[in-house]
Amino acid sequence: MRVSAAPSLGPVLCLLLLLWQPGCWSRQQWVLQRIPVVLPQQTEPSPSPHFLSQARLNVSSSCDPDCHRKAPKPTYWDLRDILSYETLHSNGSLTTTSVGIYGYAPNPDTSVVYKGRPRGRREARVRRKRQIFGHDARFCIAGQNYLLKFPFSVAVKLSTGCSGTLVGDRHVLTAAHCVHDGKNYVKGAQRLRVGFLKPKYRDTHSPNLFLNLTNHVERAASPHAPPANDKMKFQWIRARRTHVPKGWIKANANDIGMDYDYALLELKKAHKRRHMKLGVSPPAQRLPGRRVHFSGFDNDRPGRLVYRFCPAGEETPDLLYQHCDAQPGASGSGVYARMWDPRHRGWERKIIGVFSGHQWVEKQGASKDYNVAVRITPLKYAQICYWIKGNFVDCREG
């Protein structure tokens, strides 16, 4: 098989600069909305878990987008059960917290299905490798001048093999399946650690911001390759507690528990890096260029931070389907958008979802695959924000 020559990075960088700066698209704005209150009511001890399960790096379900759309909407009492949560403490103890929901009125707009045509529907039949949709469009971030700067510095690695995103001074948002397989907590969840990527070498020059490292480009052929000793190391911080919504725990939820595939980690000490704010997920048609972005630690790029962006595809009230190139290990990455903030009169990135991973659906003898992200709805925003802030007063606008 012939290996193509390295393409010029000029056009790629120009495109990325357009995405980076105020774009040529119409100025889409963050629309603040009133957030309901999800308030803890009672916390009780639960039997300690056994930590016997292996971490899952992909999600499987028999429920496709149509199935999710047709699923009965949960009632108020269902939502109270779904948003109740378990907290795993670093000493191995487990508690269960029930919640009350206040000021919640289902928005009629949440039932609207935005049928944006997903990119690559025909390409799915000719993919060269799992979770890569045609040409590999991922970019590795090179050089500590960029790795340690926002927004790339908010990406972290979990000791269970997933990725996560800094959303507070001590808090990391990730996927629930990275710590809980739906029935049991996974091995390593009790002594869960969060890794912050740091280069071993000193940057004496500034390499290009993005290096396209695909199977079709020889690394040696690139004139912008980083030094040969560019291996990275992680600085690890232990997690003090981990919150997982009961909606993910299958024994207490329906067959579409993946709608709640998110978890929040509280670290034992502050990380002293800038974090990214949470935002309520807007409809895909309101995203600039309909694009979403996320960075994570894909398993096939060991020790590297991988960034990607792509158009958002189909939606359900709780899930966003897209064809961003990704590999196992990227699960748990924070999916974000960059839009204009009219209050601060500036462009701002906010986390609007959690990358759940690659979902295979078997239906009528045929298999389909999707890349799925859990959308941050007003109720999920209220819950996650309370976990971070410890009060609901600071969580009323998202």
Indicate which residue of 68, 177, 243, 358 is catalytic.
177
Q: Is 331 a catalytic residue?
A: yes
Cα–Cα distance, 311 to 309 (Å, whole number): 7
Indicate which residue of 111, 135, 206, 255 is catalytic.
255
Is the preceding peptide bond at 45 cis, omega within 30 degrees of 0?
no
CB 263 within 8 A of CB 176: yes
Rounded to 10°, the helix 76-83/378-389 angle is: 40
Indicate which residue of 331, 333, 356, 358 is catalytic.
331
Q: Indicate if the alpha-carbon torsion angle 294, 372, 65, 99 is positive or negative.
A: negative
- Closest of 138, 136, 176, 119 to residue 296, by C-alpha: 138
- Closest of 125, 174, 137 to residue 154, by C-alpha: 174
Q: Is 255 a catalytic residue?
A: yes
Q: Is 4 a catalytic residue?
A: no
* Both tokens assigned to 70: 């047709």
Q: What positions carry a catalytic annotation? A: 177, 255, 331
